[in-house]
């Protein structure tokens, strides 16, 4: 609704406690990573130094340097393992956070589904159906009343026009009173509508007219109430 207006004033992403924890872990990882890089430089340098000592035949010194290098290499291994652990942890947390989001999404979806189901309770549907039936009956009687006031010839003309319109439009469209939920039932009833009045008029003509009128009035009152 008001979405368009609210999105023009941006709101920065919020930092949660989870975020802070992840940041700490990542910072830690960066730190270890930097020490690792530093160590790599040193090891690289030590190799050069050892080569130099070998060249100048200072074997003892060369050995010492290599020993140092060995130690640093195991340190390097350690660091790499640490980085790995940290990254695993970060990944797990991030994954869990996503899982949490998914769970939340599922929950929300479920809630909405329930609400929709409540909306569509059986009683409500029944009531709607009843209303629809009433409306159809009213329409029925209205047609009848109109029918009684028309002469046979006129009635035929109406029939003719209806048929022409039907042909023109292809199929009969549902009446505006009909509510969509129960289309099949309504259709069934609808189909019978145009047939009924014409039958009455041609066969029984005006005899029933008076009675019908009274009944119809009652019906109308009850509907208005």
Member of 1, 3, 5, 14 binding another protein (CB under 8 A): 14
CB 40, CB 28: distance < 8 Å: no
* Contacts of 57 by beta carbon, 8 Å cutoff, 6+ apart: none
In whole angstroms, the minimum distance from the beta carbon of 45 to another protein comes to: 6
Residues 3, 4, 5, 7: which binds another protein (CB under 8 A)? 7
Integer CA distances (angstroms), 172 to 30, 89, 117, 197, in order: 73, 67, 32, 17
Query: How many residues in the shown chain lie near another protein by CB under 8 A?
Result: 29
- In the structure encoding, which two tokens stand for residue 74, read together? 């195991």
What whole-number distance in Å separates Cα of residue 27 and Cα of residue 83? 11
Name the minimum Å distance from CB 27 to another protein: 6
Site for another protein in 111-130 (CB under 8 A): none
Identify residues 20-49 at the interface with another protein (CB under 8 A).
20, 22-23, 26-27, 30, 33-34, 37-38, 40-42, 45, 48-49
As measured in angstroms, the least distance from the Cβ of 64 to another protein is: 14
Does 71 participate in binding another protein (rule CB under 8 A)? no
List, in sequence order, the alpha helices (H) in the chain: 3-6, 17-55, 59-119, 122-148, 152-169, 183-192, 195-204, 209-224
Minimum distance from CB of 97 to another protein (Å)? 9
Please select the residue that binds another protein; options are 3, 5, 11, 184, rule is CB under 8 A.
11
The angle subtended at Cα 217 by Cα 214 and Cα 218, nearest 5°, is 95
Using the rule CB under 8 A, which residue among 19, 130, 154, 161 binds another protein?
19
Span from 18-26, 162-170, 173-181, 200-208 in contact with another protein (CB under 8 A): 18-26
Contact 186, 133 (CB under 8 A): no
Helix (H, G, I), strand (E, B) or coil at 7: coil
* CA–CA–CA angle 162, 163, 166 (5° rounding): 85
Per-residue contact flags (x/-) with another protein for residues 88 to 107, judged by CB under 8 A: ------x-------------
Return d(Cα 13, Cα 127) in angstroms, integer: 48
Give the interface segment with another protein, choosing from 19-27, 113-121, 164-172, 194-202 (CB under 8 A): 19-27
Contact residues for another protein, defined by CB under 8 A: 7, 9-15, 19-20, 22-23, 26-27, 30, 33-34, 37-38, 40-42, 45, 48-49, 51-52, 55, 94
């Amino acid at each position: 609704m008001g979405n368009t207006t609210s999105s023009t004033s941006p709101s920065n992403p919020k930092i949660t406690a989870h975020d802070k924890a992840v940041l700490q872990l990542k910072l830690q990882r960066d730190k270890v990573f930097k020490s690792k890089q530093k160590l790599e430089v040193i090891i690289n340098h030590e190799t050069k130094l050892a080569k130099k000592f070998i060249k100048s035949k200072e074997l003892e010194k060369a050995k010492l340097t290599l020993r140092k290098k060995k130690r640093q290499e195991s340190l390097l291994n350690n660091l790499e393992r640490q980085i790995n652990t940290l990254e695993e942890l970060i990944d797990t947390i991030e994954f869990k956070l996503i899982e949490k989001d998914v769970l939340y999404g599922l929950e929300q979806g479920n809630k909405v589904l329930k609400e929709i189901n409540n909306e569509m309770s059986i009683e409500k549907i029944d009531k709607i159906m009843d209303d629809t039936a009433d409306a159809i009956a009213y329409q029925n009687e209205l047609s009848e009343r109109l029918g009684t006031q028309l002469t046979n010839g006129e009635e035929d003309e109406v029939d003719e026009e209806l048929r022409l319109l039907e042909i023109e439009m292809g199929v009969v469209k549902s009446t505006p009173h009909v509510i969509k939920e129960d289309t099949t039932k309504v259709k069934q009833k609808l189909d019978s509508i145009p047939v009924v009045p014409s039958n009455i008029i041609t066969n029984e003509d005006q005899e029933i007219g008076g009675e019908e009128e009274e009944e119809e009035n009652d019906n109308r009152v009850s509907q208005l109430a």
